[in-house]
Structure 1
Amino acid sequence: MSNHKVVKGVARLALLYTVFAFIAIVVNIGCQALMIWIYKGPFALQLSVLVGTAAGLPVKYVLEKRHIFGFESKNLAHDGRVFMLYTFMGVFTTAFFWGIEYGFHLAFQTDGMRYVGGAVGLTIGNIIKYHLDKRYVFLKETV
């Protein structure tokens, strides 16, 4: 395979991965906003984050499973196990992202630099997540 085809394939993959992340973010934030609009009681913020995550995560999973990894589950139980493994990898990379964002916050003490740290953490976290999913989650012999 020529270098041009490899670069084109990597660029296509990166674009799709970015688009799918954006879609999941829109679903997540949209559901958070909807929850805050509907419920303003105790723990409204925490509940909205939980609902947003619960809505966005499966959307990203299905899009990546089909269009990034071309993975097909054996059955519903198998798909559930793969989704749990996918979710676990997301917890790990989210903790990594939060650590970098918080580290920037501690080092620079400004909102702007915390956002830079967040962007850096998200970028690195998504690259790590892709490789973890490719290596451990979306395998024919996964659980």
Structure 2
Amino acid sequence: MSPTALVLRYAGFAGLATLANLAAQRLVLAGIPGQPGFVLAVICGTGAGLVLKYLLDKRWIFFDQSGGIPTHARKFALYTAMGIVTTLIFWAAETAAWVIWQTHAMREAGAVAGLTVGYVVKYRLDRRYVFGRAGRTV
């Protein structure tokens, strides 16, 4: 795959995961308003985006064909661990936007900015530590 195709595919998947994240957040916030809803929304949204992004990245970015529950569990655990730092970037940007403006539009803008920076960092970590040589197309 060409570097341009890889970047476009990765960006598209990041976009899909972002939409899944924000949709999950909206669902939670629709049922639980205020600060408790916000905290739960961030956690649920992060989980939804994480699972979708892992599945897409594993198959279509890193072309990882490995199988079996132990292998998937190990890789998903590593993928999740690599996401801890990048999730902190995302949460900090989203929370800062919420605290400053206290509107859902700006909260989502902060989330998108944080996720964008986080995904760039995450690709590099996943390529090196989670999927190893299988992901080295660039």
Equivalent of residue 21 in structure 1, options 9, 14, 22: 14
Superposition deviation, residue 135 in structure 1: 1.1
SS at match of 1:43: helix
Identity of aligned residues (%): 40
Work out which of the two has the higher radius of gyration on C-alpha atoms and give 1 or 2.
1
Question: Does 2:44 correspond to 1:51?
Answer: yes
Corresponding letter in the other structure for 1:33 = R
Corresponding letter in the other structure for 1:56 = G
CA RMSD of aligned residues (A): 3.2
Corresponding letter in the other structure for 1:94 = T
**What is the aligned partner in structure 1 of residue 88 from structure 2?**
95
Cα 1:98–1:50, aligned 2, differ >3 Å: closer, same or farther?
closer
Q: Distance in 2 between matches of 1:123 and 1:52?
A: 15
Mapping of 1:36-115 within 5 angstroms? 36-40=29-33, 43-96=36-89
**Unpaired segments ≥5 residues, structure 1:** 1-7
Cα 1:95–1:31, aligned 2, differ >3 Å: closer, same or farther?
closer
Q: Distance in 2 between matches of 1:96 and 1:39?
A: 24
Q: Distance in 2 between matches of 1:97 and 1:39?
A: 22
Compare 34-43 and 16-25 and name the one that shifted more.
34-43
Cα 1:44–1:57, aligned 2, differ >3 Å: closer, same or farther?
same
TM-score, normalised via structure 2 length: 0.73
Cα 1:33–1:69, aligned 2, differ >3 Å: closer, same or farther?
same
Superposition deviation, residue 127 in structure 1: 2.6
**What is the aligned partner in structure 1 of residue 120 from structure 2?**
127
